[in-house]
Amino acid sequence: MKRNKKVNVKFFVGLYIAKIASFFIKFFFRNRGTHAPGSIAIRICPDFLSRIGRPSTIIAVTGTNGKTSTSNLINDVLNKNNINTINNSKGSNMPAGIASSLIEKSNYKGLVSATVAVFEVDERASGYIYNHIPPTYLICTNLFRDSIKRNGHAEFILTKIKSAVPIKTTLILNADDLISSSIGEKNKKVYFSLDKISTSVTSSLVCDIMVCPECKSKLNYDYIHYNHIGKSSCSKCDFKSKDSDFSGCDVDFKNKKFKIIEKKQKIEYNMISDSVFNLYNMIGVIAVLRTYGLTHKQIKKGLDNSSIKSSRYDISKIGDLEIITMLSKNQNPISSSRALDYISNVPGNKVVVLLLTDTKDKVHGSEDISWLYDTDFEYLNRSDIKQVIACGNRCYDLSLRLKLAGINPDIIKTKITYDNIENIIEKGNIDKIFVLYELYGFNIAFDLKKKISGGLK
């Protein structure tokens, strides 16, 4: 158990008021996750995170995409190996969320009994959080263009993380990402990667690093899994992707198996999801937990009993028809492109419902739709996609984008409201209905799923 700073009166006032607030929130809001107690504690005691007790091992998870799945999986595997953890999965990945999770598990002295803390950390909050809670291990899953409003551009976020990482932190980095693999010049580093697989390509709609950071010459990509994630080298100088300590290979999507190469030895794992995104998450998790000290046998045991949360991916079967709901991170073109790529590769005739209008962004007036043009809607331009339904206030923007992606205008439908979407779905000769929804669209997506299912029974 560690503290960065000694406790003081302000700390205890903050802790106890936050605990009382937490009790009432749980009582009135049925145990709903919240960052409010942490927010109260930090307001009363600004360096609260430095003074509260924390486990001696801190695993921080950051990056543009895959933070939540990666941190949930790390947490699950540790728990399944009887290692007591604390995590911020119920709160937010901002300082208040982390403080809330520590408050909830702490005793009256402000101490927690867990062995390991697994914290998902918002990239922009890196400076504040790592200053108060220096991570023992930090995994950065990847860095690329994200929501403009939230994150600006990848270089802006990279600078924030670079300046925040403590020198003693061991970094677990994605060797296939030339942006995030440049973090931590003097830190101990462990790299993970994924070998070329059947779905690898050599170019993508958007690529966030095309020029050698050393000599400014063109970068050549041997293969790309998505965006700029892949293996590359400079066309002129010696600059290239880092060599990997843990690399995924022999990926068998059909039988859901892959292998990890560590020190020339191959170890087989079962895939918990057949998307490249989640494959990367699994390889990152294995790299973190091997570095922490678990054996492959322990990690495998944990992963075999884990799953990606159904709130992010869920399949329901009504007769021969499958209804699949999938999360696509708000205004995040790479996350959305991955989801569209995944949909396009699933066999069968499909209807795709796009619930991608950011339902919370209207408080700022209107959503910036630039991201739609960095999103590869071209994946839906195929004959087995029988209908695409664009919903919400941005339905006309989406419709225009879909048409510019070459999709037959006759199969595109628009619906500015979310009621009765089920009535415009043409279900004849359809095998699968995909409902792609943004982070705050969970309820709309599940309501729609219920209505489609109800109509078919």
Partner 1 sequence: MIRLEVLYPEYMNLYGDTGNIKYLKECIPNLEIIYTSINQKPAFMRKKIDILYLGPSTESKQEEIIKKLLNYKEKLKELIDDNTIIIATGNSVEFFGKYIEKIDKKRIKCLGFYNVYSKRIENYRYNENCLGKFGDITVVGFKNQMSHMYGKDKHKFLYMEIGTGRNIDVKEEGLMENNFFGTYLLGPILPLNPYFTEYLLKQLNQKKIELPYFEDCLKAYEKRIEEFKNN
From the CB of residue 373, how many other CB atoms can be counted at a distance below 10 Å? 14
Residue with tokens 């932190």: 169
Q: Which is nearer to partner 1, 13 or 416 (CB)?
A: 416
Q: Which is nearer to partner 1, 57 or 357 (CB)?
A: 357
Residues 58/121, Cβ–Cβ less than 8 Å: no
Question: Smallest distance from the beta carbon of 146 to partner 1, in angstroms?
Answer: 11
Nearest to 241 by CA among 293, 159, 164, 181: 181
Nearest to 245 by CA among 284, 216, 280, 210: 284
Distance CA 270, CA 262 (A): 16
Residues 7/51, Cβ–Cβ less than 8 Å: yes
Q: Which is nearer to partner 1, 374 or 438 (CB)?
A: 374
Q: Which is nearer to partner 1, 51 or 329 (CB)?
A: 329
Nearest to 371 by CA among 196, 185, 181, 147: 147
Residues 117/18, Cβ–Cβ less than 8 Å: no
C-alpha gyration radius of the chain? 23
Question: Smallest distance from the beta carbon of 367 to partner 1, in angstroms?
Answer: 9
Q: Residue 391: beta bridge partners?
A: 415
Instruction: Enumerate binding residues for partner 1 (CB under 8 A).
Output: 145, 148-149, 152-153, 155-156, 205-207, 210-211, 216-218, 333, 362, 364-366, 368-374, 393-394, 396-397, 399-401, 403-404, 409, 414, 416
> What is the dihedral sign for C-alpha 362, 366, 368, 373?
positive
Q: Residue 258: beta bridge partners?
A: 269
Question: Smallest distance from the beta carbon of 98 to partner 1, in angstroms?
Answer: 21
Q: Which is nearer to partner 1, 315 or 404 (CB)?
A: 404
Residues 176/230, Cβ–Cβ less than 8 Å: yes
Phi, psi of 293 (to 5 degrees): 130, 0
Residues 437/358, Cβ–Cβ less than 8 Å: no
Question: Smallest distance from the beta carbon of 186 to partner 1, in angstroms?
Answer: 21
Question: Smallest distance from the beta carbon of 357 to partner 1, in angstroms?
Answer: 11
Q: Which DSSP state fits 331?
A: T
Question: Smallest distance from the beta carbon of 176 to partner 1, in angstroms?
Answer: 19
Q: Which is nearer to partner 1, 262 or 368 (CB)?
A: 368
Written as one string, the DSSP assignment of 215-266 is: T-PBEEEEEEEETTEEEEEESSSS-BPPP-SEEEEEEETTTTEEEEEETTEE
Question: What is the number of H-type helices and E-type strands within the chain?
Answer: 14, 17
Question: Smallest distance from the beta carbon of 397 to partner 1, in angstroms?
Answer: 5
Q: Which is nearer to partner 1, 311 or 366 (CB)?
A: 366
Question: Smallest distance from the beta carbon of 394 to partner 1, in angstroms?
Answer: 8
Question: Smallest distance from the beta carbon of 62 to partner 1, in angstroms?
Answer: 18
The residues near 455 (Cβ < 8 Å, ≥ 6 apart) are 422
Question: Smallest distance from the beta carbon of 124 to partner 1, in angstroms?
Answer: 10
Distance CA 383, CA 394 (A): 25
Residue 256, sorted as left (phi over 0), alpha (psi -120 to 50) or beta, turns out to be left
Cα atoms in the Cβ-side hemisphere of radius 13 Å centred on 202: 5
Q: Residue 247: beta bridge partners?
A: 193, 261
Question: Smallest distance from the beta carbon of 4 to partner 1, in angstroms?
Answer: 23
Q: Which is nearer to partner 1, 190 or 234 (CB)?
A: 234
Q: Which is nearer to partner 1, 12 or 373 (CB)?
A: 373
